[in-house]
Copies of this chain bind each other. A is one copy, B any other.
Amino acid sequence: MTLTLALAEKIIDGTRLYAAENNIKPLAVVVLDAGAHPVAFKREDKASLYRFDIAMAKAKGALGMGFNTRDIAEKAKNNPVFFASVTAINGIELALSPGGNLIKDANGNILGAIGISGDTGDNDELCAQAGIDAVAAQLENL
């Protein structure tokens, strides 16, 4: 299965709806396919300039390591020397903060990832999860 543009847009819409309802700061939101290539991206007005790069690095990092960035950040606390060395490798992007979540179908196959930056890591992650939840029914049928 590939993650279509239509699905990616619904995920981003779900994210932004949650953000609007919960008074979240302006977000940058990106959805990548399983190969870590961008499908759709939106930067809300007033989001600062690095938000795009950080959102990308969260989504790429989740796909690169195979875990949500919350879990990766947790591991990194116990092994900072390894993660410092890995993030210095040319081509590896990995923002060690919540807000990069894997998008999976009902069988656990990875379809892609969402990456968000703009508010706290915890809030970024709530928005990411809200986006994925908004297409839960469709992910079941993929």
Q: Which residues does A use to contact B, with CB under 8 Å? A: 2, 4-5, 9, 30, 33-45, 47-50, 52-54, 57, 63-66, 73, 76-77, 79-97, 121
Q: Are A38 and B65 in contact (CB under 8 A)?
A: no
| Cα–Cα, bound, A7→B94 (Å) | 30
The DSSP consensus for interface residues of chain A is: mixed
| Cα–Cα, bound, A45→B43 (Å) | 21
Min distance, Cβ A78 to any Cβ of chain B, angstroms: 10
Q: Are B45 and A4 in contact (CB under 8 A)?
A: yes
Most B-side CB within 10 Å, residue of A5, A52, A88: A88
9 A–B contacts from the bound complex (CB under 8 Å): A4-B45, A5-B43, A5-B45, A36-B49, A40-B43, A47-B66, A50-B65, A57-B89, A89-B95
